[in-house]
Amino acid sequence: LVGSEMCIRDRNVPGVAQAVRSSGQACGAVDACTSRGVCGVSGSTVVVNLAASRQAIRDGVSTIAPLVQHLIGELNTYSVQA
């Protein structure tokens, strides 16, 4: 299913993907910093793919958690056009 998340997104959110890769590199999760790091919005849903290692997932969720409220606020403020 490589690339399948690309089809379901209405809008890319590249800054979040970069934050996940950067944070993964800082914590030593090599697979996180070399991942495709795709993040976007589909309708009113935030879609993020993470590398498969436990360390990358743990760090990715920790990185994304504080950003989710901001993203939801942005979704409520702006209409996402398909």
**Angle ∠(3,14,35) on CA atoms, nearest 5:** 50
CA pair distance 11, 9, nearest whole angstrom: 5
Interval 33-62: pLDDT, tens: 777 778 888 877 888 888 888 999 999 999
pTM of the predicted protein model: 0.73
Q: What is the pLDDT of residue 2?
A: 47
Residue 39 zone, left/alpha/beta (φ > 0; ψ -120 to 50; rest): beta
What's the order of all strands across the beta sheet hosting 45-48? 11-12, 39-42, 45-48
Which residues are within 8 A (CB) of 76 and not within 5 positions of it... i.e. 6 or more apart? none
